Amino acid sequence: MSNPTTPFSWQMPTATDLVTDLPADFAVFGQAVATSMADLLGGASGYILSKASATDMDFIWIANDQGDITGITATSPLTGGGTSGAITVSIQDALTTQKGAVQLSDSTSTTSSILAATPTAVKAAYDLANGAVAKSTFTTKGDIVAATAASTISRLGVGSNNTVLTADSTAATGLKWAAVSGSGLTLITTQALAAVTSQSINNCFSATYQNYLIAFSGYAATGGNAPTFKLRVGGTDNSAGYYSEFQSLDWNGGGAASGASTNSASWSSRPLGVLDGTSTTVGGTFMNIFSPFAATNTVYSGSYIDGRVTGGNGGGYGAGVHNSATSFDGFTITNAYAMTGTVRIYGLAN
């Protein structure tokens, strides 16, 4: 029933109402319901209701966004999936045995097999490699690396046999291979005496050394042992101007002997031989040759030890000079009998 004091408001009739107008009251009630639930009315086919705000009964019709997906299947490197409820999909960590998510790293020293290098790490590795020496730089056995300037490297080829690496500021690399200098001996050449009566050794004297030591080891002859010694140059013996003398002493009897030669064709006072000239064995002999390559007189001094303990000899000494201002580069030793043993020529450091 309508309230006369509020003609435009409505309410359901109460039990005390004496007079009711039900049709009219329900019409007014229906209008009120339609007004308060207007958001629920209408909506296109297939649309669904969605809350528009937190206000009661405040809805809005929206297109159905659920689609037709009925499930998600995850394959490596993805994990998870499902066909109902809240579906979670993840990505697995990458390993050498599986695909997956990779963590980046700037390290150039890590040994990890599951991290991925960043451009920073790649650049650092490149810089290290760029500063390395390419193996193609080396072309010959014995090559070494040397610097020609700051941050500039170069190949220095191996030197000749028996040379040593020496500092030299005039060389491009500041280094060079050179004959040994300073203290000590340098072996220049070795010559075997293969049962010969004459043996020449060429190009063993040079400007590199002023003085030389000639060592005869295991020297022996098939008969009398009185070898001679000649200086030579350019492959030709010099056969004049030799002066020499020798002295020797017997091991057992103490007998002494001496001899000399003047302006001879060779140093013939047995610088390698023995007292009586008949022994076939000389245990060891040394000759010091002074200034053979210089254009001045060449002199020698030497000593020998007989390998026998009996038979009339022991040791001896010899010395000589060659009276010619000639530069020599080798020598020849001769004997009437075949000689064996080994000859070694050493340069004495200047």
Q: What is the pLDDT of residue 286?
A: 83
Q: What is the pLDDT of residue 280?
A: 58
Reported pTM: 0.50
Domain ranges of the chain: 1-66, 140-179, 185-348
Cβ-Cβ contacts under 8 Å for 198 (sequence gap 6 or more): 332, 333, 334, 335
Q: What is the pLDDT of residue 248?
A: 77
* Tens-digit pLDDT string for the chain (350 aa): 445 554 545 555 566 655 556 666 666 666 666 666 666 777 788 788 888 888 887 888 887 766 677 788 988 889 988 888 788 999 999 998 999 999 999 998 899 988 999 999 999 888 888 878 888 888 889 888 888 999 888 899 998 887 888 899 999 999 999 876 655 788 999 999 999 999 999 999 999 899 999 988 877 777 766 778 999 999 999 999 999 888 877 766 667 778 888 999 998 755 554 434 455 556 667 889 999 999 999 999 888 776 555 555 567 788 999 999 999 999 999 888 888 889 999 998 77
For residues 188 and 181, the answer to whether their CB atoms sit within 8 Å is no
Q: What is the pLDDT of residue 279?
A: 54
For residues 189 and 204, the answer to whether their CB atoms sit within 8 Å is yes
Provide CATH code, domain 185-348.
2.60.120
Nearest Cα to 289, choosing from 225, 226, 204, 227?
204
d(CA 26, CA 11): 9
The helix or strand, by DSSP H or E, that contains position 285, with its residue range, turns out to be: strand 284-290
Q: What distance, in Å, lies between the first and last C-alpha atoms of the chain?
A: 143
Length of the chain: 350
Q: What is the pLDDT of residue 31?
A: 63
Helix, strand, coil percentages for the chain (3-state, nearest 5): 10, 40, 50
Half-sphere exposure of 153 (CA within 13 A, CB side): 13
Paired tokens of 348: 């004495």
d(CA 82, CA 87): 6
